[in-house]
Copies of this chain bind each other. A is one copy, B any other.
Amino acid sequence: MTQPQITQQDHAAALIRRLETCEPSLKAFTAYDPVRIRADADSAGSGPLSGLSVGVKDIIDLGGYVTGHGSPIYDGNYTRTDAACVTQLRNAGALCAGKTVTTEFAFFRPGPTVNPHATARTPGGSSSGSAAAVAAGVIDIGLASQTAASLTRPASYCGVVGFKPSYGRYAAAGVKSLAPSFDTLGTITRDVATAALADAVLKGPVAAPVAFTPEKPERILLCLTPHWNEAEECTRNAVEKAATLLGEKVPVAELDMRAFKDAATLHVTIMSYEASQALGWEYTHKRDQLSQQITGLLDAGQKISYAAYRAALEQAHALREALSALITPGTVLLAPAAPGEAPLMTEGTGSPIFSRLWTLLRLPTVTLPGLTGVKGLPVGVQLLAGLGEDAELLNYSGWAETLLPRLPKPGLYAACREEIR
């Protein structure tokens, strides 16, 4: 008896069913169009991502859809072209589901998306829709981005894998800029293997062979970071539990990070200055349609002198060199991913404090799910490696993933999800 062949149209139909089932309560998408999904399935070739579905964060261009940037200023901003990353994923056989909710310009004002583990709680931001839709099983790969904590934090809150690669690894063409010294494109997936599969496609114009082989690092450096006292008990427990579980196989030492105590402040200075330029048109001509959160950021940027900005860039460079001297090959860093469990929707999208440092340093990071807090909600931990050590980090994370507990499926998991792949 032969296995019936699963076509791209079968995948499209299943994707549309999952969207129709979950979206009314999940609100992870700003737009999805079943007609377009079926048309794309007709024209899709086959490739390493055939059968996988992608959500495109709404600061990323997807042809045939509005690119809304989470702002009413861009209502009706219909886009003809695909961003570079979308072209790469499509050429590799992936199906695009639609546009996923972002906070306003990938900063703080939240969209309507709920956390699939607890619908009164935030999925985190700014990559809110991509994280929630992956967690709920609607899509396989959520395109996401990080300028402060916009990928790591929602991955932690939604209990999924977040991969923010080394700065510059994925092409940014067609992605709205917030602070170009930091803006980094990445993915949200349910496992590290899928992140590695997408990585082979996203790191170049042609899909590279996938070389994902989970392996043990030589050592783990525990990074409590200068902000450990801002972590809730559940985050401290999660990091310590992960250190214990991984430490049974690999030596763990603590890294003294006092030299990095100003990193978060430097991050704020550089981000404010650059955002004030990148969003200069909106600030000048559409200020009445901007939130107080974003005008606060841009006001602050306007008050920073060029000399202070340059000094911050130079200090950031020095911190990168200092950290790089501390990391030998085979080393993985283990750090908190977010201050705690997901806050209530009414409280915003959570604090970025546990990512500012790492985004400033431009290191690749993988957020791993598995642990939970006092409310039973996901609490991620992040693993990091040296700049450019992305392939190694994915391998180490694939190993670590098998040692952490398996998170129960969220309440809002697509009951109709057929594992047809």
A250-306: which have CB < 8 Å to B?
Answer: 273-274, 276-282, 284, 298, 301-302, 304-306
B273 touches A205 (CB 8 A): yes
Q: Are A302 and B205 in contact (CB under 8 A)?
A: yes
Q: Is the CB of A284 within 8 A of B80?
A: no
A172, closest chain B residue (CB)? B180
Alpha-carbon distance between A83 and B282 when the two chains are bound, in angstroms: 10
Q: A204-B273, A302-B206 are in contact. Are A281 and B82 (CB under 8 A)?
A: yes
User: A173 CA to B172 CA in the complex, in Å?
Assistant: 11
Query: Is B281 a contact of A84 with CB atoms below 8 Å?
Result: yes
Q: Which B residues lie within 8 Å of A13 (CB)? A: none
Shortest beta-carbon distance from A253 to chain B in Å: 29
Q: Does A145 contact B (CB under 8 A)?
A: no
- Residue A177, interface by CB 8 Å: yes
Q: In the complex, what distance in Å separates the CA atom of A339 from the CA atom of B63?
A: 42
Q: How far is the CB of A81 from chain B (nearest CB, A)?
A: 5
Q: Given the interface contacts A206-B302, A273-B205, A284-B91, does A278 sit within 8 Å of B77 by beta carbon?
A: no
Residues from chain B with Cβ under 8 Å of A205 in the complex:
273, 276-277, 280, 298, 301-302
Asked if A309 is at the interface of the complex by the 8 Å CB criterion, the answer is yes
Which B residues lie within 8 Å of A91 (CB)? 280, 284
- In the complex, chain A residues 118-166 whose Cβ is within 8 Å of any chain B Cβ: none
Closest partner residue, chain B, to A391 (CB atom): B306
Q: Would A306 and B208 count as touching, CB distance under 8 A? A: yes
Asked whether, in the complex, the Cβ of A77 is within 8 Å of the Cβ of B77, the reply is no
Please tell me which one of the listed residues B181, B279, B306 contacts residue A203 in the complex, with CB atoms under 8 A apart.
B306
Total copies of this chain within the assembly: 2
Cβ-defined partner of A306 (8 Å) among B87, B204, B310: B204
Q: Is the CB of B84 within 8 A of A277?
A: yes
How many residues on the A side are at the interface (Cβ–Cβ under 8 A)?
44
- Contact of A226 with B by CB under 8 A: no
Question: A71-100: which residues lie under 8 A (CB-CB) from chain B?
Answer: 77, 80-84, 86-88, 90-91
CA distance A298 to B80 in the complex (A): 21
A388 within 8 A of B: yes
Please tell me if the beta carbons of A204 and B309 are within 8 angstroms of each other in the complex.
yes
Distance from A397 Cβ to chain B, minimum over Cβ atoms (Å): 19
B87 and A280: CB pair below 8 A? Answer: yes
Q: Tell me if A319 counts as interface (CB < 8 A to partner B).
A: no
Does A16 interact with chain B (Cβ within 8 Å)? no
| Inter-subunit contact A173/B277 (CB<8 Å) | yes
CA distance A304 to B172 in the complex (A): 19
- The CA-CA distance from A204 to B301 in the complex, in Å, is 9
- Known contacts: A63-B281, A205-B280, A281-B82. The answer to whether A171 contacts B274 by CB under 8 A is yes
B180:A305 contact, CB within 8 angstroms:
no
Q: Which residue of B lies closest to A388 (CB)?
A: B310
Interface residues in A172-210 (C-beta closer than 8 Å to B): 172-174, 177, 180-181, 203-206, 208
- In the complex, what distance in Å separates the CA atom of A304 from the CA atom of B208? 11
Q: List 13 A-B contacts (CB under 8 A).
A: A63-B281, A81-B282, A82-B280, A84-B281, A87-B284, A88-B280, A173-B180, A204-B277, A204-B304, A205-B298, A206-B276, A208-B305, A208-B306
Q: Which residues of A contact B (CB under 8 A)?
A: 63, 77, 80-84, 86-88, 90-91, 168, 171-174, 177, 180-181, 203-206, 208, 273-274, 276-282, 284, 298, 301-302, 304-306, 309-310, 388
